[in-house]
Structure 1
Amino acid sequence: MSFASLGLNQTLLDAVAEQGYNAPTPIQTEAIPAILEGLDVMAGAQTGTGKTAAFALPILQFLSAQTRDSSGKISVRALILTPTRELAQQVHASVVKYGAQTDLRAALVYGGASINTQIESLKAGVDIVVATPGRLIDLMYKRAVDLSQVEYMVFDEADRMLDMGFMDEIQRILKVLPSTRQTLLFSATFDDEIFKLSKALLKTPKLIEVDARNTASIQVEQRVYAVDEDRKRELISYLIGSQNWQQVLIFTRTKLGADALAKEMCKDGLKTQAIHGDKSQGARERALEEFREGKTRVLVATDLAARGLDIEELKYVVNYELPFKAEDYIHRIGRTGRAGGTGLAISLVCEDENYLLQEVETKLETQLPQQWLPGFEPDLTREVKKAPRRNSRGAQKQRARERALGKKPTKRRR
């Protein structure tokens, strides 16, 4: 299979070749022809499988084939919504690269950057807008963006948009879009909420799933180390140092936890930085750039900050704490093993997190055997707490959150 066989024009084929891509990925093979046929698409694929090109290339082909009106006015004809700033930046960069040999213009709008600069770029006229929902709503209120001519609408990582509570913003944006348009929805995971959203957005869509639903990439080796909570930092520092791992991405559940862990790992002699929502956009971008360049060896991130990160050849992802949502585990380890590469995902699991591990295993429909690293075995003489009851899941998560924040867990009433 070649890109030429998918129906792309020569200009885009040249752009793809310049990026060093020789053959399309499975999601591109399935999605590009369907989009070129004018179908609405609901596509499921893991991150790092080339899904951005799967929707960007056909949209660029459509737009470049159209002639602008006699006035020369450039209208927004394609809107791509992403849940985070980092993903918006990544998608915009791809659109610019693929469309370099066309006269199409793309604008990037997201929070945390100057809204006046973004307004000026929109005034100059753009064909494609890549945006986060919140900033797009701000621009709509200021009447700085006209979406009445949008022909192509993309929801990228729709599952994360729902997780982040963007449904209200999505509904407001939909109200100003033309009812006649082609809509594309891409999601790493599918659940009832995603299917409910798809019914509101899509018209007789083609469902594309290139992997088994809600599964982790087979390119990623998953290891689980059982370890006492107070020895997690010691264990991961030992692994990084003894194995000479470079560019290690570590996930924590909280911003405070990310900062504290980064500080302690620096004391271990590992150049470490943290990124999360309380950091300025500039600080996050600098930390990420230093990580990419190898100046920073370890990057500690929260789930929201890391969503959309695209780091070439990232080999190591560590779940310092398991997430409360099993879907987030899939997103986390999807940062490695991208574009056909291989990766290693390490999870450090203490006794109190076993119920979270069980939820991950249920989602993956597979068991992840725990192992002990010599010298870091869990202390089995400690009092083992009873497993939380399954019918009190909210209480379980609340107590785990309190522990993560360093608070004394709330006692259950009997």
Structure 2
Amino acid sequence: MLKTHVAARFTALAASALALALTASAATPPAPHWVATWATSPVFASNTTGKFDAAAPDGITLRQIVHLSIGGSSFRIQFTNEFGTADLKISAASLATVGAAGALTSTAMPVTFGGHASVTIPAGAMMVSDPVSLKAAPLSDVAVSLFLPSQTIDAMTLHSFADTTSYRVPGNSVTAPALTDPKTFTTWMFLKGIAADAPANAASIVTLGDSITDGALSTRDTNHRWPDVLAARLQANAATRNLGIANEGIGGNRVLHDTTGPNMLARFDRDVIAQPGVKYLVVMEAINDIGHSFDPSKPYDPITADELIVGYKQLIERAHEHGIKVFGATLTPYVGAKYQSPAGEAARQAVNEFIRHGGAFDGVIDFDQVTRDPANPGAFLPAYDSGDHLHPKDAGYKAMGESIDLKLFR
């Protein structure tokens, strides 16, 4: 009888414990899985002349337009003051879907920081917002609006060439459905990235490079950069539509020396390792290292192909330590560009040979082969040349994005 009583009591306790566990499990939502759906690479810009009117008495609202890769219903925004020399004060911010001329197509959802509407970002720092509830489709545009109270900003943190029109007005208009008589600008100010709460199998692809990855000379407001073309293809494929794109291209950037922004080795942790959900990396950079080093009229910061290869190997090693696959993209043609030279072309060919056959990368994307003129392999195919013989035009970017084998991302 005692054994029966003990067994019954044990069974009851076990059942109660199981019920409690199931109740707790049902009551606890899954942890968010944050994946970068948009990103940019900020640089320093001086504002000592006061061209950016941050000290206006009524403050200023910036409504900045960005193009998402994957969609979602919950997002976090990363704001940055990393190149600032003083605190950056943000009194209010919002996130909404957006249409023409910065007009909102959804309710402006408030952006908070630890539950507070305002935040002060110290000089040299970045801040991530609380999750923001907003339904936004893949490949859609959203508006990040922020109100900066009157303050002195001598050192700006911005992405210089957004090729996307954004808007600013005096006063606090972060929730206004439309802005009255806004001024336009084509930089991204104080923004670093947006992450979506995505399914567990979602991940991000970082595209790390210079102006060609940044989409220089593509048509403004059309999202014709090669990473945008890739993002659209990923969304059209059921096996890859949970992959986001974080475009970390900076016009003029170099692998081994600072110029426009920190060199690639220096910014690697910020722009790659710190990106939420990153699983893949595409590297395409070195043409500015080569061009300036071998410039026939004014060479500076000399480098060799071997030094660039050592730099690539460093990036690969650091990425692999974090479980990130790295794909090397060959350098596109530049014969005819202002800083081209026979010695520089030889260096480009040596670097491309390493990318293709060195065995260091996890895969190869041969942009050189896609864009070169078969009759003059050192130069762009005329149909893809923007006219400066260094950057593609829209058709060239389209060809680059369409040439990428989606089987790499599996």
* TM-score for both structures, normalised by structure 2: 0.30
Larger Rg: 2
* TM-score for both structures, normalised by structure 1: 0.30
Q: Which has the higher helix share?
A: 1
